[in-house]
Amino acid sequence: MTKILVTGGNGQLGNSINSIKDKFSNLEITFTDIDSLDICNIDDVEKFVQQNKFQYIVNCAAYTAVDKAESEENLATKINASAVENLAIVAKNNNCKLINVSTDYVFDGNAHKPYIEDDNTEPTSVYGKTKLKGEQLAFASKAECINIRTSWLYSEFGNNFVKTMIKLGTERDQLGIVWDQIGTPTYAVDLAKAILDIIESTSSGEKEFQSGIYHYSNEGVASWYDFTINIHQIYGINCDVSPIETKEYPTPAPRPCYSVLNKAKIKNVYSITIPHWRNSLERCIESIKAEQ
């Protein structure tokens, strides 16, 4: 049995891992969140990992309030960078493998083709800068670490864009949604499966755990406007959605205008199959409706 610690267990990705864990009978997963383990306290982390003899740590904890981070840089840095370093150091000390989840916001969004893992990082927001710092500190620790950058994460759990658009679409007759930011929606359950597939294949010896940066999002591309249109179509919402430009919807933190990720590396190294975002969106909305 492979023992795994998942931090940020109450978040979207943590809940998504929990929702599919029973399909991985050879993995024993312990979920923690701030109430049960403070990952900003390295002594607490060291003690917890030693006691439980984990072989893998999956870090799903993050400060994700992108706009709020502009005025709470210290807190964002503590959670997105310092805590990641703590996990990496403890992983190194205990012969444990770390999988850390990062973001497309490490890029400036000025590219015109999907970003590969080696492309220059130029984050333009505090959130992006703190997530990049976490990546760098994890690798500087010399721990065995897979860093997975993802984008536009949503699920049936917690608060996210899909749930917001369903709520607003049922409450309002008209919406204006940004059309000039291009990326790829990612269903958190798909990312959760990819992470557990990697752990299962590397813990069994079928695959080698290859430290480094990897990209994972669903296949295909969309604007936020396209994404919203599809959310409403699938859910059955009749709302007049109009495309607007980014400049018409100013936010404290700048967003990358193009952040499509190239997934060839994770597909080739770990034989990961990635669904198209529209198909995954249908599955998610089906789950949301089932819970209502």
Tokens for 198? 């990697």
Distances (CA, A) of 128 to 63, 65, 69, 156, 289: 11, 11, 10, 25, 33
Active site residue 127: yes
Return the beta strands (E) in the chain as ranges. Answer: 2-7, 27-31, 56-59, 97-103, 144-150, 153-154, 174-178, 182-183, 186-187, 212-215, 222-223, 240-244
Q: Token pair of 50, please?
A: 């030693």
Listed residue (180, 184, 147, 188) closest to 261, CA to CA:
184
Structure letter (DSSP) for residue 58: E
Cβ(17)–Cβ(29) below 8 Å: yes
Of residues 56, 63, 105, 127, which has the active-site annotation? 127
For the annotated catalytic residues, the residue numbers are 127
